[in-house]
Amino acid sequence: MNGNKNNKLLYDPEEINRKKLERINQNIHQYEDVDDDEEENVDETEDEVEESNDNLENEETDSSESIEEVNNQQSKLQKTAQNVNKAVNAAKKGKEMLEKAKKAQSLAKVGAFIAGNPWILLVGGGAVLLFILLIVILGGGSSEEQSNYNQIGLYGYEYIELENLCEEVYVYDTPYGNDGTYPLEEYVAGVVQSEVGMMNDLTTYEVFAIAARTFALNRLKNSDSCSIPGNQSAQVFRPTDNELIIQATQNTRGLVLTRDGELFSTMYDAFCWTEKDDNYYYMCQGNYDTGEPLEIPVEWANQYVAQWSGQVFLDNPEYMSHGQGMSQHGVYYLSASEGYTRDEIFAYFYGSSSELMSIYQTFAYNGEYALNPNDELYQGLAFLTGTSLEELMTNSGSSVAELNSYLASVAQSSGMGTRSAVVGSAVSLIGSLAELGYKLPYQWGGKYYSIGASPNWGSGVNNLAYWCNNYATVYGNTSVCTTNYRWQSFDCSGFVNWALMNGFGFSSFNELSNAGVYQATETSNTIALNANRAVCAPGDVLVNTGHIMLIVGLDDTNKQYIVAESTGSRLNTGYGGVILDYESYGNTDYRCRSLESLYSSYGGQDES
C-alpha cells in the first residue's frame, strides 16, 4: 500500500485486518443463516415436482381425463422443473462462494493479505440432491465434468470473446494534445493517469485500469471502428510513464468486468454526495446490493478530496457528477483506509454478481494427448531404461524418424514460436511414449539440443563417471547417481529447453541461445505465485533454485497449474521421470517466469 503510512486514520494495518475479518465473518453468517431456509425451499420444490410427476402419470393412464388436462399438467411439471434448475444453479454458486469466504477467513485470522472474493450474497443448498433429481425428471444422462482449457483466459480467469476487440485505440479530442493511435494497454494506463494518477495507490490503480478497459471496450463493442474521445465525454487520456500505474495495468492485462458474461458500462465520477453531517459525507454511490450509501469521514475528505479535486466538491452536493457506478475518492478511501481488496471494491460498487473475465485466451492447445495428468494413458508407465528409443520404436513397428515427423507436424500446425507449439511439443513427446507404455527416466545433467527425439534415449549414459562426479560435488553421493541417473534422457532444464527448442524450430544450441530462449529458463525476473489465480500462462515456466517446470495447462477449478517436467523425485517408487503433473497456484516453493516477451518479440502470439 502506498501513501503516508504514519497516518493512523488511513494506514493502521491492525485495524485494516480487523475490519477485513469482521466483513468476512458477517458475510459467512449471512450465507449460513439463509442456507437452512433455502434448503427448506428446495425440499418443498422437490416435493412439488414429485407430486406433479405422480399426478401426470395418473392423468395419462386415466382414460376419463381429457388430453387438454394432461397437457396442462405437463406444462406445470415443465415449469416446476425449470424452477428446480434455477435453484440448483443458485445453490452451486452459493456453495462455491461460501467455501471461498471461509478460506479467506482462515487467512485473515493469521494476518495474511485477504485476496479473492469474500463477499457472500447468494443463497443455495442441497445442490447435489437436486441436480440428480433434475437429471431424472428431464431424462438426461450424467457425465463427468471436463475442464475446457481453451476457455481459460489470462491469469486463470474465464475467457470472454469480443466481436470488436480493439487491441489498438485511436484517441481524439484529448485535452493535452495527445491525439493518436495507442495500444489498448497503453491507452488504459493513460486513462488511469488522467483520472486518478494523484492517488499513488496500487489497488486503486488496478481498480481503475480494469474499469477503464471495460468502459472503453463496452463503448466500442458495437462499433466498426476503435476510436474514442480522450476527454470527459468518455475518459480523459494522457500518456504516462508512471511506474506504479504501468505495473497496475500489467497486473490486470486484458481483465474486464462483466455481468452474466457480458460487458457493461463501468461508470465512475470523482466525489458525488447527497447529504452530510458533522461526521460523514453520504455518497451518491454505495453498496450496490444493499443500496446503502458509502459514508466517508469529513476529516478524511477535508484532507484528500480538497487537495486532489478541490474544495468545491466538498461544498456542493453532486458537483459535476452523475452519481453512478464508482466514486474515485470512494475507491481510494475503501482501499487505503478500510483495507478493501480490488475484488471487494468491485463487488461493493458494481454488485456481487459482477465478475472479472479475460479478453485474452491463454493459448489454444489442439494436441492429440490429454492434458490431464490423471488420465489413464499416463498411469503405470515403465521407465525407458536399458534399451534405446530406437529399439523401442522398431519393436513397436514404427521408427524414430516417424516419431520426429509427428513431433514436427505438431509444432508446425500450432504455429512455430507460439505457446501452443511449445506446449504441444512437450505433451506430444510424453503422450507418444505413454501410448507404448513408457516414460523417459530422469538423467542428472541430461540435455539434447536438437530437433526431435534422440534415438539413444534410454540407453546407457556415456562418461557416466564424469557426470556422477559432478553430481557428487553438489549432493555428495555418487552412488545415487550411478543407481538412478545412468540412462540417457533429460534433467529438468534440459527438458524445458528441448520443448522450447522444438516449439521455436531451432536446430542448434547457438540458435537457441542467440534468440534468448536458453536464457528464458533462468531464475531471474520471476513473479510470486498467487493462491487464488494463475499469474502465468501455459508456455511459461515455474522455477526455484533447484528445479524448473513448463506450464502446459490450467486446472482453474482446483487452482492448479498442469506442468510437464523431468524430475528425479522418488524414482525408486516409480514416480518421476519426464511426466505431466500438478502444482498448486499458491506453492510458495516456486515462482513464475513469464516468457511473454519471448513469444511476442521472437515468435508469434496465438492468444492475443
Question: For 251-281, how does the pLDDT look when each residue is reduced to its tens digit (9 = 90+)?
Answer: 899 999 999 999 999 999 999 999 999 999 9
Neighbours of 175 (CB within 10 A): 12
Please check the confidence at residue 117 and state whether its pLDDT lies above 50.
Answer: no
- Of 561, 564, 558, 555, which Cα lies nearest the Cα of 151? 555
Tell me the pLDDT band of 214, cut-offs 50, 70 and 90. Answer: very high
How are beta strands 560-567 and 577-584 bridged, if at all?
antiparallel
SS3 per residue for 54-110 = HHHHHHHHCCCCCHHHHHHHHHHHHHHHHHHHHHHHHHHHHHHHHHHHHHHHHHHHC
Query: Is the Cα dihedral 382, 553, 421, 599 positive or negative?
Result: negative
Q: What are the structural domain ranges in the chain? A: 8-146, 152-361, 376-601
Highest mean pLDDT: which range of 124-138, 186-200, 358-372: 186-200
In angstroms, how far apart are the furthest CA atoms of the chain?
94
Band of residue 85 on the pLDDT scale cut at 50, 70, 90: very low
Q: What is the pLDDT of residue 196?
A: 96
Please report the pLDDT score of residue 410 as a whole number: 93
Task: Report which of residues 188 and 417 the model is more confident about.
Answer: 188
pLDDT confidence of residue 360: 86
- DSSP letter at 112? P
- Structure-block grid coordinates of residue 563: 506442468
Q: How many CA atoms lie within 13 A of 112 on its CB side?
A: 13
**Proportion of the chain above pLDDT 70, given as a percent:** 72
Average pLDDT rounded to a whole number, residues 444-473 = 91
Q: For all residues of the chain together, what is the average pLDDT? A: 80
Q: What is the DSSP string of 135-204?
A: HHHHT---------GGGBBGGGPBB---TT--SEEEEES-TTS--EEEEHHHHHHHHHHHHHGGG--HHH
